[in-house]
Structure 1
Amino acid sequence: MFGNIVFENPQFFWLFLLLPLVIVWYFWKWNKQQAALKISSIKGFKVSSSWLIKLKPLLIVMRLLALSLIIIALARPRTVDVSTRTKTTKGIDIVMTIDVSGSMLSKDLKPNRLEALKEVAAEFVQGRPNDRIGLVLYAGESYTKTPITSDKSIVLSALKDIQYNGVLEGGTAIGMGLATSVNRLKDSKAKSKVIILLTDGSNNAGFIDPTIASELALEYGIKTYTIGLGTNGIAIGPVDIARDGSFIYGRTKVEIDEELLKEIAKVTKGKYFRATNNKKLEQIYEEINKLEKTDIEEFKFYNYEEKYRILVLLAGLLLLIEFLLKTTIFRSFI
C-alpha cells in the first residue's frame, strides 16, 4: 500500500524536531504531578505495585505516536502512477545506398570494407526505431535491395545477406545508385528524405551522370550524405581471380573521387565524410544519426492516490483510545 510513496509537502517533517521537546515537557509535567510522602519507616505497610501505575506512560506514548502520524499526514504522502505514451509526429525516410563492387572486399578496414559497413549500418538501423529505411545496392548498375519500410527486421536481414557475388556488372556507377535511391524517395510524404551514399571508388560505369542524379535529389527535396570509404594511399584488395574462383589479393591504390562526393553533398544540402578506418566509419554514422533527428512527442499521465487519510484516522483512533483510558481506567491516577 505504501510502495513508491512521494511526499507533496516534505517541509512538515521539520516538526519532528519538536518531539524531543514535547517528550521532555511530558516527563517534567509527569514528575510535577507525583505526590511525595516522607515517613521514617515503611515497616508495617504492605507494599504492592499496581500494573496500572506501570502502564501510565503508555498514554504518553500513544499521544506521541498520534502526533507523529499527524506530522506525516501533513507532509501529504501519496503514490504516483506514471504512464507514458509517445507519438512520432514527423518521421524520416532514409535510403542507404551501398557500393558492392569488388573493391569493397579490400582489407584496410577489418575484416574488410563491406563487412565493417554492414556492422555499423546495422547499429544505425537499430537506432532509428521511428523511421522508415530502405537499401539500394550498386556496382556497375544498381537495384533496390529493400524498399523503404518501418520493419527493421527486414532491413537488418537484408543487410546481413549482402555479399559480393559478381551478379552486378563490374565498376562503380555512383550516378545509377543515387538515381535509384531518388526514385525510391521521390513520392515519400515524410518530413525529411535522406540518402546515405557510400562508395570506395569513382564513377566509372552506368549511364546516369552523378551530377544529374544530384540535381534530381535537390528537386525532390532529398538530402544526401556521402561517405568515401577507404584508407589513404595503399590498401590490400582483390587484384585478380584464381582458377577456383577465389580472389587474389595485392596492394592497390585507393582512388576515391572526393570532389564528386563533396559536390553531391553540397548540391543536395547534405554533408561529405571520409572513413579511413572502422572507428571513423562508426563515428560518421553516429554523427548522421544526430544530424537527422525524428520529432517525437511524449505524453505523461500522472495518477495520484492520497495516503494521508489513513494516517489521520490512525492518529484520531490513538487519541480517542488515550482519552477513553484517561477518563476511565486511569482516571484516579492521572
Structure 2
Amino acid sequence: MTFGAPEWLWGLLLVPLLVALFVRAERRGLRLLQEFVSARLLPQLAGTVNRPRRIIKFGLQLLGLSLAIISLAQPRWGYTFQDVKRKGLDLLIAVDTSRSMLSNDVQPNRLERVKLAIQDLINELQGDRVGLIAFAGRAFLQAPLTIDYDAVVEAINDLDTKTIPEGGTRISSAIALATQSFGKSATGNRALIIFTDGEESETSGDAVAVKMAKEAADAGARIFTVGVGTSEGSLIPITDENGETAFVKESAGQVHKSRLGEKGLREVAQGTGGFYIHLESGPRTMQQVQTEGLAKMQAAEMDARLSRRPIERYEWPLGAALIALALSIFIPERKRVRERRYVPAAVRTAEAAAALLILLASFSYATAPGIDAYRDGKFEDAYGQFQQTLKSHPQSPAEDKVQFDSGAAAYKLKDYNRALESFSQALLTRDTGLQSKGHYNLGNTLYERGETE
C-alpha cells in the first residue's frame, strides 16, 4: 500500500492524545461525583449512566476520525495499466567540465553556476525528455534521454572537472554525440543546449564546431548556446600537490587567464536556427531560453508507452468512517429506566419554612392504615403504622413510597432525624419522579433541622 498524501498520517497522533483526554475526563468526573454524592446513593443517583456504552461510543467516534484521516492520505493499492501518449521535445544538455570552468569570474564558479541554471531550466519543463552530456577534450553521455528529471538532476550534481579526464573544450565532440543520440529526424522537436565558456582549444575548433552544428541541424536538431563567464575573465584556481591553491599556467609558464569566447558560440547556434545567450541571472536566463526558444519548437507526439498507475482506494476508509460515526450517534450513553406504576395520594401543605410533599401509596396486598391516620392528623400513629407496614412487607414493590410517606409523618412530628432517614431510603427508588420529590422533601427537612439547631 502507498499513500498519495502521506503527510495527513501525522494526524493519527491525535488518537492517543484524545484517548488520554477521555480517560482523564472520565476519572475526574467520577471523582467529583463521589465527592458530591455518598457512596450509598451513588449507584441509584448515577445508575442511568452506562459507562460501557460511553466507551463504545467514544471508540466508534475515534475510529471514524482515524479512518477519515487515512482517507485524506489517499491510500492506494493495486495498479492499472494504460497506454499513455506523450507530446514534447527531446532535449540534450551539454555541460563543459574543463578546468576553465573553475574560474570564479561568476560566483561561486562557472561550473557551479551552470548546475544551478540547469536545475532552473528543468523546473520549467513539462513532458519533455531530457538527457545530459559532459564534455571537455571529448564528450560522454552522462544520462540518456528520460522523463525522470530527478535522475538527471542527480547526474548534474555529480559533475566536476574530473568527470572527463581529457582536458580541453571540444564543443564539436558534444555536438557530434548529441546528433548520434538523437538520430536523424525532420520533426524539428530536438534541441541541444550547450553550457560553456567557449574557450575552444582544438585547432580550428570554432570552424569544426560550426560544421558539426550544421550536420545536427540537418538531423532535425536546434542548438542553443549559453555563455558562462565574463569577457574580462579570471585566473583558474587549482589545488596543488601540497594542498595549496595555485593557478593554471600556459605552456610558456605564464599564468593562464580564461575569458568568455562568445563569437564562436553565436555562430554555432545561429547555424541551426537557435540563439546564443549569456548566463547572467540563472532563473531569468533559463526562462528566456524556454519561452523564446524551446516553447516555439514543434512538440512531437512520442510513442505510446504502457504506464502503471496506482488505484485510489480512499472511498473504503471514508465509507467505514461514516458508518462508525453514524453508529456512534445511535448509541445512548444512559440506560432507559422504566418507571413503576403506583397510585399517589399527595397532600401539599404550606408552612412558614417550606412546603412538604407526601405520597399516599396503595398496595395490592393491603390497605395501608397509616394513610387514614395521616389524614386525621394523627402523625405519630401514622408513622408507627407506616413502619409496621415496612416490617411486615419487606421488599414490597411499594416500599419506596411507604418510606416516603413515613418520612412525611416524621416531618410533621418535627422528628427531622427520622424524617431524613426515611426520605434517604426513598431515594433508592428507580422511580425518577419519586426521586425528585424525595430530594425536595429532604432539602426541606435539612433546612428545618438547621433552624431548630
* TM-score, with length taken from structure 2: 0.42
1:257 alignment partner, one of 237, 261, 265: 261
Which structure: greater helix fraction?
Answer: 2
Cross-structure match for 2:140: 143
Q: Distance in 2 between matches of 1:183 and 1:207?
A: 22
Q: Distance in 1 between matches of 2:185 and 2:243?
A: 42
Cross-structure match for 1:235: 234
Residues 155-170 of structure 1: matches in 2 within 5 Å?
A: 155-165=152-162, 167-170=164-167
Unaligned runs of 5+ in 1: 1-86, 298-334
Q: Distance in 1 between matches of 2:243 and 2:184?
A: 42
Q: Distance in 1 between matches of 2:244 and 2:145?
A: 34
Q: 1:108 to 1:226 in 2, by over 3 A?
A: same
Cross-structure match for 1:193: 190
Q: Distance in 2 between matches of 1:284 and 1:184?
A: 26
Q: 1:135 to 1:246 in 2, by over 3 A?
A: farther
Q: Distance in 2 between matches of 1:236 and 1:289?
A: 32
Q: 1:113 to 1:229 in 2, by over 3 A?
A: same
2:201 alignment partner, one of 192, 201, 204: 204
Deviation at 1:233, TM superposition (A): 0.7
Deviation at 1:257, TM superposition (A): 3.0
Structure number with higher relative contact order (C-alpha < 8 Å, ≥ 6 residues apart): 1
Deviation at 1:89, TM superposition (A): 6.1
Q: 1:95 to 1:247 in 2, by over 3 A?
A: farther
The 8 Å contact of residues 141 and 205 in structure 1, kept in 2 or not, is answered as no
Deviation at 1:235, TM superposition (A): 1.8
| 1:115 counterpart = 2:116 | no
Residues 1-334 of structure 1: matches in 2 within 5 Å?
A: 90-165=87-162, 167-187=164-184, 192-205=189-202, 209-238=208-237, 241-244=239-242, 247-249=245-247, 253-275=257-279, 277=280, 279=281, 281-291=282-292, 292-293=294-295
Q: Secondary structure at the match of 1:218?
A: helix
Q: Secondary structure at the match of 1:170?
A: coil
Q: Secondary structure at the match of 2:145?
A: strand
Q: 1:189 to 1:162 in 2, by over 3 A?
A: farther
Deviation at 1:163, TM superposition (A): 1.5
The 8 Å contact of residues 189 and 299 in structure 2, kept in 1 or not, is answered as no
Q: Distance in 1 between matches of 2:256 and 2:286?
A: 26
Deviation at 1:146, TM superposition (A): 0.6
Q: 1:267 to 1:296 in 2, by over 3 A?
A: closer
Q: Secondary structure at the match of 1:285?
A: helix
Aligned-residue identity in percent = 27
Q: Distance in 2 between matches of 1:245 and 1:166?
A: 20
The 8 Å contact of residues 87 and 128 in structure 2, kept in 1 or not, is answered as no
The 8 Å contact of residues 93 and 190 in structure 1, kept in 2 or not, is answered as no
Which one-letter code corresponds to 2:97 in the other structure? V
Q: Secondary structure at the match of 2:167?
A: coil
Deviation at 1:93, TM superposition (A): 0.7
Deviation at 1:125, TM superposition (A): 1.1
The 8 Å contact of residues 225 and 272 in structure 1, kept in 2 or not, is answered as yes
Deviation at 1:207, TM superposition (A): 10
Q: Secondary structure at the match of 1:260?
A: helix
The 8 Å contact of residues 90 and 191 in structure 1, kept in 2 or not, is answered as no
Q: Distance in 1 between matches of 2:112 and 2:182?
A: 26
Cross-structure match for 1:13: none
Structure with higher Rg: it is 2
Larger displacement relative to structure 2 (250-259 or 265-274):
250-259
Q: Secondary structure at the match of 2:143?
A: strand
Q: Distance in 2 between matches of 1:186 and 1:207?
A: 26
Q: Secondary structure at the match of 1:178?
A: helix
Which one-letter code corresponds to 1:94 in the other structure? L
Unaligned runs of 5+ in 2: 1-83, 249-254, 302-453
The 8 Å contact of residues 99 and 137 in structure 1, kept in 2 or not, is answered as yes
The 8 Å contact of residues 118 and 160 in structure 1, kept in 2 or not, is answered as yes
Deviation at 1:136, TM superposition (A): 0.6
Q: Secondary structure at the match of 1:147?
A: strand
The 8 Å contact of residues 97 and 164 in structure 2, kept in 1 or not, is answered as no
Which one-letter code corresponds to 2:128 in the other structure? D
Q: Distance in 1 between matches of 2:241 and 2:165?
A: 20
Which one-letter code corresponds to 1:264 in the other structure? V
Which structure: greater strand fraction?
Answer: 1
Q: Distance in 2 between matches of 1:221 and 1:296?
A: 12
Deviations 1:69-118 (A, max 9, x none): xxxxxxxxxxxxxxxxxx97631111001100001111122211111111
Q: 1:252 to 1:206 in 2, by over 3 A?
A: closer
* TM-score, with length taken from structure 1: 0.56
Q: Secondary structure at the match of 2:236?
A: strand
Query: What is the Cα-based RMSD across aligned positions, in Å?
Result: 2.8
Deviation at 1:282, TM superposition (A): 3.4
